[in-house]
Every structure is written in C-alpha cells, then in structure tokens.
Chain A
C-alpha cells in the first residue's frame, strides 16, 4: 500500500495522456459490458434451461401446431415424469410496439414444469381456478402499472375469437417473479388459461404449439426424446423432441450467431486498446528513465522497480475497466427501459465481471511486461548519464 502513491504519481505524470487513455479503456469496457449483456440476455433461455426438460415441436416447423391430445400419450412414455404444453398467442398491448410473449397454458402443468418461477400459492391457485385468469411477469406489471384484479385487454395477431374479434380480455390474478436474473429474463411474459383460450378461439381448437417434458434421468434425455418422436412417427403430426437448452440455443440463433458477432467486435476493440495502452506505457517509461534510475539509486531493487511499472499498467487498466463496467451496469436499466419489452432484459452478471477482470489482467500483462522488463534492465549509470 505504501507504494500506491508512487504508482499513481507515475501514472498521472502526464495527466491528459493518462486521462484520455483511461477514457478509451473505459469506453472499451462499457462496450464489453453492454455486448456481453446482450449475449447473456439472448442466451439466458439456454442458461436457465433444465437438463431434465425436453421440448417437442412439430417435426417440420415449429409454427405447425400439435394435438393437445398428445399430452396423455407422451405421459405414457417411459422416463417421462411430467408434461406441459403451451401455445403462442401473438400478443400486442395498446399499440404495435408493446409486444410481449403470451402463452396459453394448462396452469397446473405449466407451473409445475417451471418451478424456478416464483409464484405465490394464492396466485397459483387463482390462476388454476380462473378460466379467464392470467399471470404476468413482474417487470411487465411494473412497466405498465398493472394491478392484480384488473382486466388485461390484449389483442392477438394470430387468433380471432369466435365472433371474429382479435381483442381479448383476461383477468390478472397473479405475478410471476424469479430470484435468478437469467430466469427473470424469461418472465417477461403473460400466461393465460388454455381452457378459456381454446374454447373461445375460432380456429385451431384442440391443438397447441409445443410440449415440454420432464424426464426422470437427465442421462436418458436423448433416449426419451427419441421414444417420444417414435411414438408419433408416420402420423399426420410427427414431432421433433430435443433437450430444452438445444431448443433455446437454436431459437436464439435464428436472429444470427450473436456470440460470434460479439466476440469479433470485442477482439477488434481490445486489440485497439492493447496498441493504445501499450503505446502509453512505452512513452511513459521513456519519459521517466531518469526517475526510475533515481529510484534504483536510492535503493529500490530491480524487482521493486519492475513491480512498480507493472503495477502502473494494472492500475491503468483496472481503473479504466472498472469505470467502463460500472458505466455499463448504470446504463443498462436505461437501455432496458427504452426497449419497451421487445427484447429480453439486459443485465451484467457475475460471469461478465469475472471475464472483464480476466481481460484487464491479460491486457495489463501484455502492455506492462515489456516496459517492466526494460525498467528492470535499466543500468543506473547509463540512465543518469543520459540526463547529465
């Protein structure tokens, strides 16, 4: 700790240069934090996927519905311990830009399947008991100022009612929440009761969008998936069953390989930072050769001088990285607010902070080691001779 003033004195010897470099590093890590948050949000479905859950869709297209009657047959497959199903409602609320997922589900089956959703017993019971009932995610409730007991007027882009109207109305009976931020990203939805929905819609009665199954043994998941698909082989509604994580990743990839795109952008950003901070450190060392020689003269060992120079690189990147990540964390709520719920909520998770720390360390070593080695090799008499 007693050497810290010395580290910062070296770092801020050229105040403007250091502040500009810090700003560059900060902006790079702000970008890193935001892009990682986007990647994390889009992959959160996969991350929160349960290895014991399977998803069954129609074999040739997931927009083709499957018979609801499949539920009982799937339950009979050996290794399957629970079955739920859901259908896509295609909702818009108030105007075109307020779009969020609304799933028509069997309340008891669906909530039993997704036990990571935090729903109070009273809300669960009310949802099961109310044919026009709906559960809404906490963030949606907060965003639109909904209150339990109120009517939710939601239009469907896909399903007309018997009278041809696309305007539906549900009773908000409860809230879905989650502790885990990755799971909370999947609660930006509204669940409605399939009994009411199926009776009230004009088309597609008796059919649902997809099935979710829980298996007894995760190691048997693929075998059970094959058994399910075999059950409906050569039928008019053949199925494709896969582990939930695979399904979620495939779904996310439909908007492009986000991970690869993010990685390429970040490699370019950090390469630029590497060159920039490397140049700053190099110039800083050249400016201070006589000062480093004086430190050695008064008794600082080669090792101590090396450590001081390396510590400057670490401090520069740590400070810039922390500022950038803090900025990303502060900006994300604003970004989420401006999205109007069209994208999963962004968040900076612990993994992103750890990756940022690892990048800081790697960059610090890359830019700090060459000047540190040069400082170590500095001969006092040569360095002072250049200053006489």
Chain B
C-alpha cells in the first residue's frame, strides 16, 4: 500500500479502554485519509470519540489495533521515547484551555518545543519572535499568561504549536473557551496558517460555526465514522 500524498492515514483503527472488567469501545474500525494542506473539522456529540481520534493522530495515545500513518511513519508502532521525538518534530498542539506555563513569559512559552533542539538561545528567541509576530503578538512577548486575554493566550498557544514548523496542527476545541468574535479571530488565524503556510490542520469542535472554517467536516458518532457525513467546503 502506498502512503504517498497523504499526511494522515488511519486504517481500521480501533481503540478501547478498560474500566475494571468493563470494556469500552471508543473508536471502531476508523478509516480516514487526510491529504497535505487539508483543514479537517472533526465534529460529533460528547463521547463520540473525536478527541480520542485526535489524540491518536497527534501521537498522544496509541490505538488498540489498526494502523496509523502520519507523514509516512507508522506512529502506532513507536515507543514512548520515539513518539516524544516524533511529536516534537511533526505535530503542533492547540488545546481549549491554552495550557501555557503560567510562570513563563509568552516568548518563553513559545520557545518550549525548541528547548529540545540543538538551537542556540539566540536562535530559539529569534524563532519564537517570528512565531509570535505571525500570530500578531510580538508586542506581548514579555507578558506572562495572566497578563493576556483568553484570545491572546490562545494565540501564544498557536505560536508554540507552529514554532518548530510541524507538518500537522491538531487542535482540540481551540475556540471552546472564547467569545464569538475572538473565536472568529483564532479560526481565521488557523485558516491563514492552513492556506498561506501549508499547515495541515485537524480540528475537533462541536461548534458548527467553527467547523465552517474547515475545508472538510467529518461527523463522528459512537466511535465510528462509518455513517459520517463528509462535507466538502468549496
């Protein structure tokens, strides 16, 4: 099977959790292909498995069975250390609650992924400033998270996600904690990163308005995509 031309390939992926003796099938026989430069919105009700699928794609979790290829790499077969290195190099993460380190400035938060590289302090700082400039927050570089608004915090989180120039951005409810206008700004920013910088974006959202910014929308329900409606946006 050729994986060329696909950033993400999810093949017959199954994920189950065990709670005591009870087995919970969260994802069942998921098959999905995401081409480079795609902006995919994963939608579905709570408990449908969309965050679990996002975690698998981002390498935060491993499937119980099935194959997960990201950028030609069998992610499901990587050990913990390899997976950490792979995430650092290939995936940027954006979460609903930003998850910035409160004691670090915006710039230091953005620099975090670069600490794992051999870059000099000056180069790390330069790249962090480029990322902050891209999200429109260069003038807030020295501010601590508590000195920023929610929208600004999410922009810093996006800068942190793109600073190591990953292929893939995975976003879990990135606008879930924001008001409508700020959410629109964040989604426009993600759209810009997708369109102008070629980032492949996979976004989980339960908000149809947010999903409208994506090129494609997939609906997950009860752990399956089998009956998903795939909506292509012009």
Q: Mark A271-303, 1 if CB is under 8 A from B, else 0.
A: 000000000000000000011011111111111
Residue contact A10 to B84, C-beta cutoff 8 Å: no
Residue contact B87 to A299, C-beta cutoff 8 Å: yes
Q: Residue B181 at the A interface, CB < 8 A?
A: no
Contacts of B60 in A (CB 8 A): 297, 380-381, 384
Residue contact A301 to B99, C-beta cutoff 8 Å: no
Shortest Cβ distance from B166 into chain A, in angstroms? 10
Q: How many residues of A contact B (CB 8 A)?
A: 27
Q: With the chains together, A295 CA to B61 CA distance in Å?
A: 15
Q: With the chains together, A37 CA to B152 CA distance in Å?
A: 56
Shortest Cβ distance from A295 into chain B, in angstroms? 7
Residue pairs across A and B with CB atoms within 8 Å: the count is 70
Q: Residue A388 at the B interface, CB < 8 A?
A: yes
Q: Known: A13-B102, A302-B81. Is A2-B121 also a contact (CB below 8 A)?
A: yes
Residue contact A298 to B121, C-beta cutoff 8 Å: no
Q: Residue B148 at the A interface, CB < 8 A?
A: no
Residue contact A5 to B160, C-beta cutoff 8 Å: no
Partner of A298, one of B52, B81, B93: B93
Q: With the chains together, A384 CA to B58 CA distance in Å?
A: 14
Q: Residue B115 at the A interface, CB < 8 A?
A: yes
Residue contact A298 to B112, C-beta cutoff 8 Å: yes
Q: With the chains together, A132 CA to B158 CA distance in Å?
A: 88
Residue contact B101 to A301, C-beta cutoff 8 Å: no
Q: Known: A2-B121, A380-B60. Is A299-B116 also a contact (CB below 8 A)?
A: yes
Beta-carbon nearest neighbor of A388 in chain B: B96
Q: Residue B223 at the A interface, CB < 8 A?
A: no
Contacts of A302 in B (CB 8 A): 80-81, 84
Q: Residue A9 at the B interface, CB < 8 A?
A: yes
Q: Residue A3 at the B interface, CB < 8 A?
A: yes
Partner of B101, one of A9, A296, A303, A387: A9
Shortest Cβ distance from A224 into chain B, in angstroms? 67
Beta-carbon nearest neighbor of B99 in chain A: A294
Shortest Cβ distance from B211 into chain A, in angstroms? 19
Beta-carbon nearest neighbor of B82 in chain A: A301
Beta-carbon nearest neighbor of A287 in chain B: B102
Residue contact A298 to B160, C-beta cutoff 8 Å: yes
Q: With the chains together, A296 CA to B55 CA distance in Å?
A: 13
Contacts of A388 in B (CB 8 A): 96-97
Residue contact A299 to B99, C-beta cutoff 8 Å: no
Residue contact A2 to B115, C-beta cutoff 8 Å: yes
Residue contact A303 to B81, C-beta cutoff 8 Å: yes
In the complex, chain B residues 91-114 whose Cβ is within 8 Å of any chain A Cβ: 93, 95-97, 99, 101-104, 108, 112-113
Q: Mark A303-324, 1 if CB is under 8 A from B, else 0.
A: 1100000000000000000000
Residue contact A299 to B85, C-beta cutoff 8 Å: yes
Partner of B103, one of A10, A300, A301, A380: A10
Q: Residue B89 at the A interface, CB < 8 A?
A: yes
Q: Residue A6 at the B interface, CB < 8 A?
A: yes
State the 4 A-B residue pairs at the shortest beta-carbon distance, nearest first.
A299-B88, A9-B103, A301-B84, A298-B113
